[in-house]
Amino acid sequence: MVTGDSSYIKKFNRNIILQRIVEHGSISRADLSKITGLNKATISVQVADLLDSELIYETQQEHTSVGRRPILLSLNQKAGYVLGVDLDYKKIQYTISDLLGNPIMNEDIKFDTDDYHAILQLLIKQINLYKEKCPDSHYGLVGVVIGIHGTVNKDDQSVLFVPKYQWHNKDLKNDLLKEIDLPILIENNANLSTYAERVFYHHDCNNLLTLIISSGMGAGIMIDGELQRGYHGYAGEMGHMIVVPDGESCTCGNKGCWELYSTEPSLFKKIAIHQGQDLSYQKIKQLIKEQDKNTLADIEQFIKYLSIGINNIINIFNPETLVLTSEVLTMYPNAIEKIEMNLHSSVSQYNKIVLSKFHNRSCVMGACALAIQTFLEIPKLTLNPPEEK
Ligand SMILES: [Zn+2]
């Protein structure tokens, strides 16, 4: 097994070197050797291979005070592109990014069906179109990752259940692979959002919890640097935690579930009672600015119930960082301070609660990042916050 072992080690070294190049942006061979502990000959051979494959390129440093100007190595971010997809209810977000996670195209497509086969055809048509439209590059479109607002089997990535569509046991990945010649991965949307927060913003946080309250209630849990999926992939269904005894009836069969009180759709419904019209984020922003009494009371109530659930999940997970993904909280003054004022217990411990900076695009950005990490085959991906084109 000597051959196997040596090729395994080569691959391992290649992946570590590439990971460090991505992480540092640009780095010399000498510094790579220092950081990885690999000798200069190994670095030299691996770097030559990576240059051959056009995954990296060399530049000479512009200014140094004395001595030779070192040659720096960087990832060739335009060597290929990835496609991230967020399959939400009657709306799909698509983002194409380069290999450093910078979006070069965002598109949101709405539709009016919940039929699995119709939506499957929409995905096939659109993904194949993006494959053709992808900018000219050495590798072209290298992978697709699709976020599902439901549970995904952690072993074979089949879709177990999507509540809003009422889909059970759909083999979406293989149905797509019959018509699309690209690597495809399927993952839960909240897991992708959590992964995005870690890749782009919270690089050193290993105990990270993300709550997506912008559509349904989704939670992504990262413990010791690993996403938690549970026995079959059902972990993180916190929206059905009961926070109000004998409260409102939920589609799950219980009463008083958290997501009936603490998601943006539930808040929109309450504000619509006195606004009596179709609401948009823009409209809510305006109502906040005008200090509309009813709207402010609804948001305060929303924050109160949100805090009850947050208190409970902090007690369960003891997160270092809790990220909330919500446009309404982002536009509401002092939202985080108000939530923290409701967390009195000396037992619930966390380091910080922050708002997501992705503006409802954390799932697609996580999808792009996962496609990049899979293509580059690196053990950990660290990127700068995405720059819009
Ligand atoms: Zn429920």
The model's pLDDT over 261-277, given as tens digits with 9 standing for 90+, comes to: 999 999 999 999 998 76
Neighbour tally for 54: CB within 10 Å: 14
What CA–CA distance (Å, rounded) separates 362 from 193? 5
Query: CA 230: distance to chain centroid?
Result: 18
Q: How far is the CA of 223 from the centre of ligand 1 (A)?
A: 25
Give the other-Cβ count within 10 Å of 5's Cβ. 9
Q: Calculate how far, in angstroms, residue 109's C-alpha sits from the geometric centre of ligand 1.
A: 28
What pLDDT, in 10s, does the model give residues 97-115? 999 999 999 999 999 999 9
The share of the chain scoring above pLDDT 70, in percent, equals: 97
- For CA atoms 374, 380, 384, 386, give the dihedral sign: positive
Split at pLDDT 50, 70, 90, the class of 6 is confident
Distance 238 CA to ligand 1 centre (A): 9
Per-residue pLDDT, 109 = 97
260 and 253 Cβ atoms separated by less than 8 Å: no
pLDDT tens, residue by residue, 222-250: 999 999 887 777 777 789 999 999 999 99
Q: Which of 50-54, 148-152, 316-320, 345-349 has the lowest mean pLDDT?
A: 345-349
pLDDT of residue 64: 61
How far is the centre of ligand 1, averaged over its atoms, from the C-alpha of 232 (Å)? 19
Hey, how many other C-beta atoms are within 10 angstroms of the C-beta on 6? 10
The helix (run of H) or strand (run of E) holding residue 83 is strand 80-88
Query: How many angstroms does the Cα of residue 59 sit away from the middle of ligand 1?
Result: 56
With beta carbons less than 8 A apart as the criterion, state whether 76 and 142 touch.
no
Handedness of CA 192, 196, 199, 205 (dihedral sign): negative
Residue 1's pLDDT band, with cuts at 50, 70 and 90, is very low
Residue with tokens 């990049």: 372
Kindly report, residue by residue over 23-68, the tens digit of the pLDDT: 999 999 999 999 999 999 999 999 999 999 999 999 987 766 666 7
**Which residue type, as a one-letter code, is found at position 358?**
F
Q: What is this structure's pTM?
A: 0.91
**How far, in Å, CA of 351 to CA of 344, rounded?**
14
- pLDDT bin (cut points 50, 70, 90) of residue 69 is confident
Length of the chain: 389
Q: Ligand 1 mean position to 249 CA, how many Å?
A: 8
